[in-house]
Amino acid sequence: MAIHIGEQELLSKAEAFLQEAYAELGKSDLLQQRLTHVADEIAATGTWTPDSDELIHGARMAWRNSNRCIGRIYWKSLKVVDARNLDTPEAVFDAMDEHIAYAFNEGQIRSVITVFRPKRDQDEFAPRIVNHQLLRFAGYTQPDGTCLGDPAEQEFTKHCMSLGWKGEGTAFDFLPYVLRWPGFPEQWRMPSIPNGVRVPIVHPELDWFESLGLQWYAVPIISEMMLEIGGIQFTAAPFNGWYMGTEIGSRNFGDINRYNMLPAIAIRLGLDMASNHGLWKDRAMVELNRAVIYSFEKTGMRITNHHEAAELFVQFEESERKNGRDVHADWVWITPPMSASITPVYHRLYDNTVKGPNFYYQDPCIGKLRFDITPGCPFHAASLQATAQKPE
């Protein structure tokens, strides 16, 4: 049976993945038989289906290849849940609840990915989880244009409300799941939130810090990205590691376009904010990050700090090189957003070439593309087609 042009591209990607994966899994003696079977399957159906072992190792390879992740040293420990048999929104919602419960693990966070089925020929659109993360706080646009809650979630919050969801109207309301599944209308359901997943943010020395009313959730579960393995695109595949403190303290709480807490903290610290010469932002950020790490540890939640994470990334680099693999990384993302120059990754140069399998941003179901995930971005799904003929 003849292989067509699009099928030939898919076969090339499948072969490249299988050759690498089977060598790593010690199954090289089975490779030729598997390649023949995959070629026949693509010729007959236009696609191929990774088996369970291939899916597991492919997902782990995708984490290992994730240019923007500093925590890749743990890639071998990723738990892979094969949920490709699920085909109703209710079953998918239940699987997402199970993902949260397994990942949270009463604070001893475990890395896990749940892989749902890819798009089929008869599908009008690919399966998608509309949420940026399975757990995320709402952002309510106020009449004066300000935001109550997370400004990054304003568009999604409006969308959820248009579907009939209504939150309590606080700065830390969990958003619902929203699912677009082929053959069904778009629908939502509230997550099953484990007890203790909310972490109140307090400070080890500053008693007034608690009055800020800050809190965050214990586990970040990215749900908008696509997992690509051997040319197969899994458009719904939520995954998580665990938090590095600066992700919350410096970015979620510190960014001016997020919760923007540095001015409020600086005021309570009695800092002179009239000039940047006194480094009031830096001093406020340090105390905010101290509070985040202290609060997670106080409540028994797994978290790492940016110094430890950077040192472990260097160990990951050394381990990969011993195994004959180059480490690709996006320096801007690998370098922590606080005290960058006193971490070892700051002083290193990285090749930012994207290698598959990997995770890719997708066009959002609602709202606009972020500046760093436009189709020209090497981490956008469109880049797969643009680089299809280029060797890695």
Could you read off the pLDDT of 301-312 as tens digits, one per residue? 999 999 999 999
At 370, the pLDDT band (50, 70, 90 cuts) reads low
Percent of the chain surpassing pLDDT 90: 91
Spatial contact of 80 and 55, defined as CB atoms under 8 Å apart: yes
At the top level of CATH, the class of 49-136+174-386 is alpha beta
Could you read off the pLDDT of 173-199 as tens digits, one per residue? 999 999 999 999 999 999 999 999 999
DSSP for 21-54? HHHHTT-GGGHHHHHHHHHHHHHHHS-----HHH
Give residue 5's pLDDT. 53
DSSP for 89-103? HHHHHHHHHHHHHHH
Could you read off the pLDDT of 216-225 as tens digits, one per residue? 999 999 999 9
Q: Is 270 exposed, middle or buried, given 0-12, 13-18 or 19+ CB atoms closer than 10 A?
A: exposed
Please report where in the chains the tokens 């690919």 appear, as a residue: 126
Query: Which residues are catalytically annotated?
Result: 69, 72, 242, 247
d(CA 27, CA 34): 10
Q: Is the pLDDT of residue 213 over 70?
A: yes
CA-nearest of 268, 266, 291, 290 to 280 is: 266
Please report where in the chains the tokens 């997943």 appear, as a residue: 197
d(CA 228, CA 234): 6
Give residue 38's pLDDT. 98
HSE-CB for 375 with a 13 A CA cutoff? 4
Cis before 357? omega within 30: yes
pTM of the model: 0.94
Give residue 369's pLDDT. 67
Could you read off the pLDDT of 39-61 as tens digits, one per residue? 999 999 999 999 999 999 999 99
Give residue 145's pLDDT. 95
Q: Is the pLDDT of residue 81 over 80?
A: yes
Could you read off the pLDDT of 2-26 as tens digits, one per residue? 445 589 999 999 999 999 999 999 9
For 85-219, strand residue ranges (E) read 112-116, 128-129, 139-141, 147-149, 177-180, 187-189, 198-200, 215-217
Listed by start position, the domains of the chain span 49-136+174-386
For the chain, strand residue ranges (E) read 79-83, 112-116, 128-129, 139-141, 147-149, 177-180, 187-189, 198-200, 215-217, 221-222, 226-229, 232-234, 239-240, 358-360
